[in-house]
Amino acid sequence: MEFNLFLIIPIVFATGIAIGITSGIFLAKKTSSGKKECVAIGASTVSGRGAFALKKVRDGDIIERCPALEVTDQDIGGELLNYVFYGSTETARLVVMGNGMLFNHSSTPNVAYYREETGLGPELVLYALRNIKKGEELFYSYGDQWWSTRQ
Ligand SMILES: C[S@@+](CC[C@H](N)C(=O)[O-])C[C@H]1O[C@@H](n2cnc3c(N)ncnc32)[C@H](O)[C@@H]1O
């Protein structure tokens, strides 16, 4: 009986550790909503940092739902101006969290977005405009107004 306990306790202990490590690795690749993350930030092919597909994405798939905060243009200045979106009124600006703020611009984008109101506030929903390969850089269009108001 004693012999069995000496054998069983280390086996149970080792199994627990193995399960813990495996679930840790598995959960680390998932977002808080339980979905596998699609986007990683890396060195852009056009400027500074950019967003890249961590896995193959299909046309129409949602890439990320980004919680957002609507503020007034008075709250935004300096370099931050280059990172915010237009808001629901002329003077409103949308501060987008998650990876959503770091996508670079392309006039032939592979990503687009729409705003959605949720019980917890606005969200910017980024989705694929075509099939995207794992590792491709992700771009949305900043629009003509964005570039015409900057040098
Ligand atoms: C929202 S940030 C994008 C992330 C930025 N690349 C970074 O490293 O933080 C917007 C800035 O990225 C740069 N940018 C975005 N798209 C670009 C492009 N297609 N060509 C050159 N610069 C670009 C511009 O400097 C712009 O002000």
For ligand 1, whether the C-beta of 149 sits within 6 Å is no
Specify the 3-state DSSP secondary structure of 21. helix
Q: Tell me the C-alpha distance between 97 and 76, whole Å.
A: 15
Distance 6 CA to ligand 1 centre (A): 61
Residue nearest to atom 22 of ligand 1 (CA): 47
Question: Are 73 and 13 in a shared domain?
Answer: no
The strand order across the sheet containing 121-128 reads 85-86, 92-96, 62-72, 121-128, 111-118
Question: Are 130 and 81 in a shared domain?
Answer: yes
Average pLDDT score over residue span 111-130 = 98
Specify the 3-state DSSP secondary structure of 143. coil
For ligand 1, whether the C-beta of 48 sits within 6 Å is yes
Segment 68-108, tens digit of pLDDT: 999 999 999 999 999 999 999 999 999 999 999 999 999 99
pLDDT-derived band at 64 (thresholds 50, 70, 90) equals very high
Residue carrying structure tokens 């930030």: 41
The answer, yes or no, to whether residue 21 has pLDDT greater than 80, is no
Question: Are 41 and 100 in a shared domain?
Answer: yes
49: which strand partners? 43
Ligand 1 atom having least distance to the Cα of 106? 19
CATH number of residue 100's parent domain: 2.170.270.10
For ligand 1, whether the C-beta of 74 sits within 6 Å is no
Per the structure, the complete domain to which residue 23 belongs is given by 1-30
Question: Are 48 and 121 in a shared domain?
Answer: yes
Distance 68 CA to ligand 1 centre (A): 19
pLDDT-derived band at 31 (thresholds 50, 70, 90) equals low
Q: What is the pTM of this model?
A: 0.81
Question: Are 42 and 22 in a shared domain?
Answer: no
Which has the closest alpha carbon to 98: 14, 44, 37, 34?
37
Average pLDDT score over residue span 132-143 = 97
The answer, yes or no, to whether residue 1 has pLDDT greater than 60, is no
Question: Are 23 and 5 in a shared domain?
Answer: yes
The strand order across the sheet containing 49-53 reads 39-43, 49-53, 137-140, 104-105
Between 21-30, 42-51, 92-101, 121-130, the lowest mean confidence (pLDDT) is in 21-30
What's the pLDDT at 28?
A: 47
Question: Are 88 and 113 in a shared domain?
Answer: yes
The total domain count for the chain is 2
What's the pLDDT at 30?
A: 56
pLDDT-derived band at 5 (thresholds 50, 70, 90) equals low
Of residues 5 and 117, which shows the higher confidence score?
A: 117
The answer, yes or no, to whether residue 32 has pLDDT greater than 60, is no
Contacts of 117 (CB under 8 A, 6+ apart): 123
